[in-house]
Structure 1
Amino acid sequence: MKYLNKKLALALVLTISTATFSTAYAAVSEPTMAANTETVNTAIKNDEPTSDRIEHYKEMAMYYYWHGGDIKQAEKEIFKGITLKGKYDVVENAFKEAVLLDPYDLDLKFSLASTQIIQKKTSEALGTYEQILNLDPENFNANLLQGLYSKAIGDNSSYKNSISKLKQIDSKKANEYLQKLETTDSVINEKLNTAPPANLPQKDHAIVILGYALAEDGSMKEPLIERLKAGIAIAKQYPNSKIIVSGGVPKQGITEADAMSNWLQTQGIEKDRIILENKSTDTVENALFSTEKLEKEGIKDVTLVTSASHIRRALTVFNEASDFYAKLNGKNSDRDFTNVVYLDYPSIEEAQKVSKDEILVIYRDLLRTSGIWQYPGLQR
């Protein structure tokens, strides 16, 4: 009964604390959040059923993925003898423990590899994918992930081997991903604009401004304000264009989209020009949820506005989301994208350079947008 009560309490905690879209979550007090973390950090005992221990580790991993928590407490009570440096260390080690309990579950291994990719532990992630392929050589996703992440770090030999294997497994699907990759590589080399492009369409055009995490008090941080300034410059030059503000994580009951909309209106933008996308929690969801609104509005031309360090990833996932919606609706993908950036580099020349780390993240989010979940069944 004691164990059941603990599980019920954990389920209630997670139901409340992971509801990132709700304004109720934004009102949770600091003491309550601290108590939630303590519940998640409850020691896992070997006399508990194995399936429940695995679920507890998965719940812990996702809790820390979203919220972080008391690292020292987790280090002391759960992962004894392991030094933890941050919340993703907790996520990684939780999945490692789950994998030990069920070495047959490939989804747990995929989740472990994803956490290693987030931490840029690429060689370790590639080793985890290799384990998956040792057990399931025909696994399309494992071959694809291993191949693209090998390409991202410059291992073209392994990439070519993966592509060859993918064509043997499913040639049509492999060629579809090669096309996605070709589009992505062209995006990576795209010129960045710090001023509104000339000759944008006067109708069926939208400006999509991507959000940035709000401060704890619900106020906007500098990167978001700078993105809005870049967006409003286009809005004034193209007064017929709709403006989609995209971002759903709330702070103090207000989402990024709400804050952005309010700011634009104080700068003279009419409320009926603004479309709120207030459900997304990251760049992939920015793209998927904003594209649904672009489809609804019949908009063919889009100018994406975000930071220079973010724009290539944004363009990649918006292109992929547009291709998906076109396929979903049985039509050809014909949406065109331009960009305007807030320059968060010392110079535009520096902004045009692309590091291996950025390519790694671009490929990761391309795959996520294409429907391959980062944490299968848990988190896109």
Structure 2
Amino acid sequence: MTRFKLTAGILALMAVTGCSSVATHKNEKFYQNQEKISEYTQKGMDYYWHGGDLKKAEKEFFKGITLKGKYDVVENYFVEASNLNPSRLDLRFGIASSQILQGKTDEALDTYREIIKIYPDSFEANMLLAGYDYALGNMDEYNEIMNKMKSIYPEKTRNFEQRILRTEDFKKTQFNTYPFEMPGDNQAIVVLGYALGKDGVMQPTLIGRLEQALAMAKKNPNASIIVTGGVPQGGVTEAYLMKNWLVEKGINPNRIYIEDQAKDTVGNALYSVNILKNIGAKNVNLITSASHMRRALAVLQEMALTEGLQLSSLSNLVYLDYPSLQEAYSITPKENLVIYRDMMRAAGFWAYPGIQR
């Protein structure tokens, strides 16, 4: 009898120990996967910003995959991360954003549809799918999604609908090519940067924008000036060189605010809006290239609304980078898609949730 009890006790102890080992193994596996997911997403975003050696990436990690560009690398890193934890919807959003960047719109829409199958009421997934449907002319699915979401999130969905209508208005923007007197008080001129050469030298496009900024600043001597652009080359940022150029041309440095954190158009808008709020500017003139203006205006307006800034007026002055104004008014399908992509980012829909807006 005693022998039986002893044996049963040992068996019970073995069973408990075995369960504990299984649980420990599962926990270790979970944390290992989390570390790998973090590694893959970080590598993906490093390629997003800086690119890299595609052949090296194929050889060392993506064996058997022919990579077509840096955004293809980003997509595949997020695919690998998602495979480790398919329930992580943020990783699937990252896959879709990478597909959009490559122009793989059909695949991106399918990725959003997969997210919606997992979480049918996801406001973010439904609105992103609807927004791209609208941009691509898929109106049946767009209307279906909007009707469904109005019954679940009526106010938020109507707000999104208003953002689309405003974006359509910005697509009809008439470009100003000569400086003019801005309306009202509390004026600010926002000048968007342009990528520097690798040696930190301003390129002709940026100088063209600055020449327009100089003319506008002289026409409106009470307007503050925000120069925005933060990608450094040769140890300097776009904004730093932009301010120096304007000061050398006679503009009072006290009028100029440097924004040197932004890496893209959405960043330009986000950080500039924060400065506009701090200085109390309500009447804003935006300066960039004609090819960039429609997107920049839509993004700045939506970012202002997202961040709680009500603008009294938002005007434009373009550096004409087309042979003629007539050509500048033509919107390609690619530009249309990018306008909506960045508008939705400005509206609060992160491209890479938790990593990059």
Q: What TM-score comes out, normalization by structure 1 length?
A: 0.83
Please tell me whether the aligned partners of residues 184 and 283 of structure 2 are also in contact (alpha carbons under 8 angstroms). Answer: no
Structure-2 residue corresponding to 1:261: 243
C-alpha displacement of 1:326: 2.8
Please state how far the C-alpha of 1:203 moved relative to its aligned partner: 3.5
**CA–CA distance in 2 between the matches of 1:56 and 1:272?**
44
State the 1:176 CA deviation: 0.9
| Aligned positions of 1:41-120 closer than 5 A | 49-120=32-103
Contact map agreement 2:283 2:314 (CA 8 A) in 1: yes
User: Percent sequence identity over matched residues?
Assistant: 48
| Matched ranges for 1:243-258 at <5 A | 243-258=225-240
* Partner Cα distance (1:326, 1:62) in 2: 29
Letter in 1 for 2:263: T
Post-superposition, which runs of at least 4 consecutive aligned residues in structure 1 deviate over 4 A? none
TM alignment of 1:314-333, pairs within 5 A: 314-326=296-308, 333=310
Deviation at 1:268, TM superposition (A): 1.4
Among 193, 196, 212, the residue aligned to 2:176: 193
Residues 143, 165 of structure 1: 8 Å contact kept:
no
Matches of 2:348 and 2:44, distance apart in 1: 21
Change (3 A) 1:334 1:235: closer
Root-mean-square deviation (Å): 1.7
* 2:329 equivalent to 1:352: yes
2:199 alignment partner in structure 1: 217
The CA distance in 2 between the partners of 1:96 and 1:340, in whole Å, is 42
Deviations 1:302-346 (A, max 9, x none): 11000111111110111112213336xxxxx24311101111122
Query: Structure 1 159/80 Cα, relative in aligned 2: closer, same or farther at 3 Å?
Result: same
SS in structure 1 of the partner of residue 197 of structure 2? coil
Q: Could you give the per-residue CA deviations for residues 78-124 of structure 1, whole angstroms, max 9, x where no partner exists?
A: 11111112111110111111222222211111000000011111100
Q: Distance in 1 between matches of 2:355 and 2:277?
A: 27
2:344 corresponds to 1:367: yes
Q: Hey, what's the Cα distance between the residues in 2 that align with 1:249 and 1:135?
A: 38
1:154-303 pair list within 5 angstroms: 154-197=137-180, 199-201=181-183, 203-303=185-285
CA-CA distance at 1:202 after TM superposition: 6.4
The count of residues paired between Structure 1 and Structure 2 equals: 329
Deviations 1:346-365 (A, max 9, x none): 21111111122112111111
Is the contact made by 1:202 and 1:240 (CA closer than 8 Å) also made in structure 2?
no
- Secondary structure in 2 matching 1:244: strand
Residue ranges of structure 2 left out of the alignment (5+ in a row): 1-28
The CA deviation string for residues 207-229 of structure 1, in whole angstroms up to 9 with x for no partner, is 11101111111111111111101
Q: Residues 201-260 of structure 1: CA distance to partner in whole angstroms, max 9, x if unpaired?
A: 364211111011111111111111111011111112222222111111222221111100
Instruction: Assess if the C-alpha contact under 8 Å between 1:202 and 1:241 holds in 2.
Output: no
Describe the SS at the equivalent of 1:339: strand
2:203 maps to amino acid? K
C-alpha distance in 2, partners of 1:288/1:272? Answer: 22
The answer as to whether partners of 2:284 and 2:311 remain within 8 angstroms in 1 is: no
Give the equivalent residue in structure 2 for 1:379: 356
8 Å contact kept, 1:322–1:335: no
Structure 2 match to 1:34? none
Larger Cα-atom Rg: 2
1:16-31 counterparts in 2 under 5 A?
A: none
Question: Is the 1:202–1:238 contact (alpha carbons within 8 Å) kept by the matching residues of 2?
Answer: no
